[in-house]
Amino acid sequence: MSTPGVMATQVPPEFTVEINERKCVRCKRCTTECGFEALTYSREYDAIVADDAKCVACHRCVTMCPKHAIRVTDNSLAYKANANFSDIHRKNILKQAETGGILLTAMGCDRDYPVLWDHILIDACQVTNPSIDPLREPMELRTYIGRKPDCLEFDPDSDPLKLKTELAPNLKLDVPVVFGGMSYGSVSYPVHKSLMLAAERCGTFMNTGEGGLHRDFYRHKDHVIVQCASGRFGVHEEYLNAGAAIEIKIGQGAKPGIGGHLPGEKVSEDVSKTRMIPAGTDALSPAPHHDIYSIEDLSQLIYALKEATRYRKPVGVKVAAVHNIAAICSGIVRAGADYISIDGFRGGTGAAPRVIRDNVGIPIELALAAVDDRLRQEGIRNQTSLICGGGIRQSSDVIKAIALGADAVMIGTSALVALGCRVCQKCNTGKCSWGIATQNPRLTARLDPEEGAQRLTNLLNAWSHETQEVLGALGVNAIESLRGSRERLRGVGLDEKTLEILGIKPAGR
């Protein structure tokens, strides 16, 4: 097969950019704001000219234009109706006919598979039990992540109370939301810094992702989970000890079963140092860990990491939600994981083949319910904590996830949106106008870590308040009374089997 030459594209632009000439004052700001170089100033016409084909609808120019002179709209060409061959299918075929390549994309699955969160409703108290006012009464969200014993033993003769049981190390979360793994390289330095500062202020954790931890950040270690992925980028003893917990990344919701790909353009000098790879080279992490071909191997790595950190830190495992997730997680618990992060198929990514992102894995709602059930049936639920993620968009998703059985949730996309991301799905290009998914210093300078931290802190505070409101309405004042309390959830418009898997009743019952 010969490599195709460069062809003129037949794919029409996705968006249309219109500049209102009357409003525009020709300040040219938009031309520098656009990371994708879609806008230029034409001296000849004294006007801003848009190359629609380059626009990704990231809204940077729209947001920054002082005169609100820019409008980005869908380039909604009429296609002859066809319920089977949608315009998306036709465009994708054209792209592949032109390039012969895998379609690459970023962020989470954008197809309209049912979102089960939107088919679940929450209970509230009326008459027989009082609701509680979160403004007047304590409303506790504190959560501990890590292995717990089934029961405790106390010194019978000691007053004050003294514990005899040795406890495994746990992470203390003031809010049951952590920032999911996003690597330095896929996202920028100021993103990592914003996440870290916010985690510190909110009493939670950020996860380094698979690209190591910049030296500057070692001092924030009490709020960092360091990841160890198949590429082992940036993994050394000091790094392992630089976090509050270690997470072995087996898979990711957006691309279960395949490795990571950080294009060379994003491997800057700093990224190269942190990852311990040459600058400008593609960072490819292998699909499996080449030392983990079975569950016993996973156990060995878990204990190797525990040894390396003298059993002072919880070691977790991150997996993508795939069909057999319940059995897999049961194995992971038995292999010694102190917590499991389960990433649903809607989880985000910095780069993934579209075919995988949009077709592989299962929804987190079902995965979580199945895993929690299985671990309870086997009596090992206490031995591990469950963090779930993959499409968590709002506090109600958090609440429903916890009621289904999660100890905490992880957010990636939502955190980036708080920082300015418009989910344009072009992270893989390294051109992110918001300074998020790029290493271009001109672009990353746009994200002020202080402001970023504030925005993230605000988001988590807002979600905390909302969660407390719902707890109060449920008549409980501690998050552990919500956790796994599926009795307080009802399904609408769900078939019987789905309800059974979720372990909830239909509304009206």
Partner 1 sequence: MYKRDLEHIPSGCAISGILNRKGKRIDGRKIIKSIALMHDRSNGLGGGFAAYGIYPKYKDYYAFHVMIDDEESRNRFECYVNQHFTVEHDEKIPTAKVNGIHNPPILARYFVKVGEGKLEDAGIAEEDYVVRQVMHVNSNIPGAFISSSGKNMGGFKGVGYPEDIAKFFKLEDYNAYLWTSHGRFPTNTPGWWGGAHPMTLLDWSVVHNGEISSYGINKRYLEMFGYKMELMTDTEVIAYLFDLLVRRHKLPIRIATAALAPPFWKDIDAMPEPQRKAYTAIRSVYGGALMNGPFSILVGFTGGMIGLNDRIKLRPMIAAEKGDFMYMASEEAGIRVIEPEPEKVWAPKAGVPTIGLLDEGVEL
- Considering only 421, 447, 459, 460, the residue that binds ligand SF4 (CB under 6 A) is 421
370 binds ligand SF4 (CB under 6 A): no
169 binds partner 1 (CB under 8 A): no
Nearer to ligand SF4, 111 or 312 (CB): 111
382 binds partner 1 (CB under 8 A): yes
Q: Under a CB-based contact definition with an 8 Å cutoff, are residues 402 and 482 in contact? A: yes
Q: Under a CB-based contact definition with an 8 Å cutoff, are residues 231 and 301 in contact? A: no
Q: Looking only at residues 373 through 412 of this chain, which bind ligand SF4 when binding is defined by CB under 6 A?
A: none
Place of tokens 């449920």: 474
Q: Looking only at residues 474 through 493 of this chain, which bind partner 1 when binding is defined by CB under 8 A?
A: 474-478, 480-488
Torsion of CA 214, 410, 390, 226, to 10 degrees: 30
In one-letter notation, the amino acid at residue 83 is A
68 binds partner 1 (CB under 8 A): no
- Considering only 106, 197, 199, 474, the residue that binds ligand SF4 (CB under 6 A) is 106
Total of residues contacting ligand SF4 (CB under 6 A): 29
Closest among 67, 70, 49 to 59, alpha carbons compared: 70
Closest among 390, 476, 446 to 130, alpha carbons compared: 476
Question: Which ranges of 360-476 would DSSP assign to H, the alpha helix?
Answer: 364-377, 395-404, 413-418, 441-444, 449-474
In degrees and rounded to multiples of 5, residue 421 shows phi and psi of -55, 140
How far apart CA 199 and CA 193 sit, in angstroms, is: 10
254 binds ligand SF4 (CB under 6 A): no
| CA contacts within 13 A on the Cβ side of 64 | 17
How far apart CA 506 and CA 125 sit, in angstroms, is: 18
> Shortest distance, CB of residue 129 to partner 1, whole angstroms?
4
- Considering only 12, 101, 114, 130, the residue that binds partner 1 (CB under 8 A) is 130
In degrees and rounded to multiples of 5, residue 184 shows phi and psi of -70, 120
Name residue 386's beta-bridge partners: 340
Q: Mask 63-82, x = binds ligand SF4 (CB under 6 A)?
A: --xxx-xx------------
Which listed option, partner 1, ligand SF4, none, makes contact with residue 424 (CB within 5 to 8 Å by class)?
A: ligand SF4
How far apart CA 302 and CA 312 sit, in angstroms, is: 13
Total of residues contacting partner 1 (CB under 8 A): 43
508 binds partner 1 (CB under 8 A): no
29 binds ligand SF4 (CB under 6 A): yes
Cβ contacts of residue 94 below 8 Å, gap of 6+?
9, 10, 11
Nearer to partner 1, 167 or 462 (CB): 167
Nearer to partner 1, 139 or 301 (CB): 139
Nearer to partner 1, 114 or 130 (CB): 130
How far apart CA 397 and CA 363 sit, in angstroms, is: 13
148 binds partner 1 (CB under 8 A): yes
State the residues that interact with partner 1 by CB under 8 A: 125, 127-130, 132, 137-138, 140, 142, 144, 148-149, 151-154, 156, 160-163, 165, 167, 170, 376, 379, 381-382, 474-478, 480-488
State the residues that interact with ligand SF4 by CB under 6 A: 19, 24-30, 48, 58, 65-67, 69-70, 106-107, 416, 421-427, 432, 434, 436-437
